[in-house]
Amino acid sequence: MKRIQFLQAAAAALCVAASTASVAQGYPNKPVRLIVPFPAAGATDLFARTLGQKMSEKLGTPLIIDNKPGAGGAIGSDMAAKAPADGYTLLLATTSTHSIGPAITSKLPYDTVRDFTPIAHVGDAPSIMLVPVNSPAKTVREWIDHAKKNPGKLNYASSGNGTIVQLTAELFKAQAGVFVTHIPYKGTALAIPDLISGKVDVLFDSLPTGMPHVRDGRLRALGVTTLKRSPLAPELPPIADTLPGFESNTWFGFYGPKGLPADIVARVNKAANEALADPEVKEKLSRLGIEPAAAGTPEQFAKMVAADAAKWKKIVVERKITNE
């Protein structure tokens, strides 16, 4: 009896393996759904549509964008995690969903490592350090010195508690050793007028929304949050020149549900890397303030996310940050 049960189990396993291989071999033979866990017309959505159009050509099938916003990206991410592992439902994840989300929210309906298959790192969006034009600081070092001379008197704006904007500022505070008060807003756009008028002293904003104010002379940019000069704003020095190792980027990456066959992972990874190398895609992403990621493997992507998540978890714990 035990031998029969063993043979039945082995046969079932072989059937599953054969079925999986068959699915992977014919992939894709119908449209692929790409879940974007944020609203339409936002930066993540525009990025998905820009890259998705070229990836459709590379895959030989339409890549359909499906916006499922809510709960900081958790609703759409949960849908992707629970989808069949057949390659026809993918997720465009970000720093918010897979690095900061697990650190700031203890009750996510999924595990960002266990319940997903990493596929490809596809882009990074750096931020810039903005101050009023009447600020006494013209460099990052001068701003740090100014803050140290006025402990508790300066403040920073953010797009809300637990956001990448707040965490970037807290990372800056931790590395610079300064005491600056947090003032949360419902989005950086609402904070800009107060920054221009000098009611707040600093804001770490995205390039597309911040640089127009700099170029129009309404704000001053002191540095960029990349380790090296960004091709998106080559005139700005990295904050890391003053605070070695300082880095804060919003990354974008493709995931599938757990158990996604390796052949499908490789197919999507290849299509993504080829699309990112396209000059037209690069130009469009530049206008969105996004740097295309260098061609990489799923393993490299997973390693990058693990390091990023550990960095933000450390800041969340040490600075006692919540999303409330």
Which residues does 171 contact at the CB level (< 8 Å), separation at least 6?
Answer: 246, 248, 311, 315
Domain residue spans of the chain:
30-125+249-318, 126-241
Count Cα neighbours of 168 within 13 Å in the Cβ-side half-sphere. 31
Q: What's residue 22's pLDDT?
A: 46
Question: DSSP letters of 143-206?
Answer: HHHHHHHSTTT-EEEESSTTSHHHHHHHHHHHHHT---EEEE-SSHHHHHHHHHHTSS-EEEEE
Q: Which two tokens stand for residue 182?
A: 């947090």
Q: Which two tokens stand for residue 192?
A: 């800009």
CATH classification code of 30-125+249-318: 3.40.190.150
- Is the pLDDT score of 13 beyond 60? no
CATH classification code of 126-241: 3.40.190.10
Using pLDDT thresholds of 50, 70 and 90, give the confidence band for residue 200. very high
pTM for the whole structure:
0.90
Let me know if the fold of 30-125+249-318 is the same as that of 126-241: yes
Residue 293 · residue 123 · CB < 8 Å: yes
- Is the pLDDT score of 276 beyond 90? yes
Q: What's residue 4's pLDDT?
A: 46
